[in-house]
Amino acid sequence: MGQRAFDRKFGSALVEGLPTGPGVYLFRDADESVLYVGKAKNIRRRLQSYRNASRRMVHRKMRTLVREASSVEVRAHASEREALLQENTLIRELRPPYNVDGAFAFLYPAVGLARRDVHTLLCFSTRPEAFAPLDLRWFGTFRSRPRAKEAFDALVELLALVGHLSKRTQLPRHASVRGSRLVGLRQLPQEVTEGLTPFFAGEDRALLGALSTALLAKPRARRDAAQVEARLRLLDRFYEADTRKLRLAMERLGRADTFVAQDDRDALFILARFESDPLGAVEPGAVDQ
């Protein structure tokens, strides 16, 4: 495996004939199914790296793609921004087996919030539309389902210590959606209730301070102080990694809302990246992930 394998499959003149600007490349198998979609600032240099892939572990995926693919298609673009958006669209639509990031946008979760009589409703779901009759305000979507779910469950656990978890029979009628969770809470401290919206909107983390203060008055919370502290740290990480970064991306594009659809979420971060730095020099992680 190496240059000879690459040249035998794709032609020795392929790389030399490629442009040096941004572009998208697609590796296809013998049935023309797309195995992998990639993006590069310099498409010639990127394909040359596949041609020169060594036996080092860092090059293993490159060697695998060269071995499994029967052809490679290259699409040049006028800018890296266009190439990133095209890559995102192709991965989401085609779900190539060797792409993971962005291929499962339909699993990006959101959190819903509403007040109903004496109940504060919280909902975690990858299908917000299924809960439309509840008229929840949605926040998200968030890219990391595990982190968002862990934070949601931690928050519900802490809220149940300072308030009262409603029985399922007390909740409004709603759809039963696999992987979703709807809870109701009563008698929450006002500062805690008021802190929920800005927390999920990525505007401020005052909720955590209000929760900490309320928990100090609860014997059970004091008894399980280590576990409570761990839950608060988890929520703080979720705020920094998810809700705050989504808020920053929204603001860079002049959006005041708190929700972005699953199919549009990754594209929003790409656009936000280039809005703050048209040349794309800003690291994607500055606003993404």
* 88 within a domain of the structure (yes/no): no
What is residue 286's three-state secondary structure? helix
Distances (CA, A) of 228 to 23, 149, 186, 207, 209: 48, 17, 20, 14, 13
pLDDT band at 100 (very low <50, low <70, confident <90, very high): confident
What is the tens place of the pLDDT at every residue in 194-221? 999 999 999 999 999 999 999 999 998 8
pLDDT band at 280 (very low <50, low <70, confident <90, very high): very low
- On whether both 68 and 179 belong to a single domain, the answer is no
Domain end marker among 65, 80, 95:
80
Q: What is the CB neighbour count within 10 angstroms for residue 287?
A: 23
- On whether both 145 and 213 belong to a single domain, the answer is yes
Phi-psi category of 184—alpha, beta or left, where left has phi over 0 and alpha has psi -120 to 50?
A: beta
What is the tens place of the pLDDT at every residue in 237-252? 999 999 999 999 999 9
72: pLDDT strictly greater than 60: yes
Instruction: Check residues 53 and 76 and name the one with the higher pLDDT.
Output: 76
- On whether both 128 and 72 belong to a single domain, the answer is no
What is the tens place of the pLDDT at every residue in 106-118? 999 999 999 988 8
- On whether both 225 and 128 belong to a single domain, the answer is yes
Query: How far is Cα 142 from Cα 111, in angstroms, rounded to an integer?
Result: 9
| pLDDT value at residue 183 | 96
* 178 within a domain of the structure (yes/no): yes
The DSSP string of 132-198 is: GGG-PEEEE--S-HHHHHHHHHHHHHHHHHHSEEPPGGGSPP----TT-EEEEEES--HHHHHHHHH
- On whether both 114 and 251 belong to a single domain, the answer is yes
- On whether both 197 and 148 belong to a single domain, the answer is yes
In which domain, by residue range, is 109 found? 105-262
Domain count, the chain: 2
- On whether both 140 and 252 belong to a single domain, the answer is yes
Averaged pLDDT score across all residues of the chain: 91
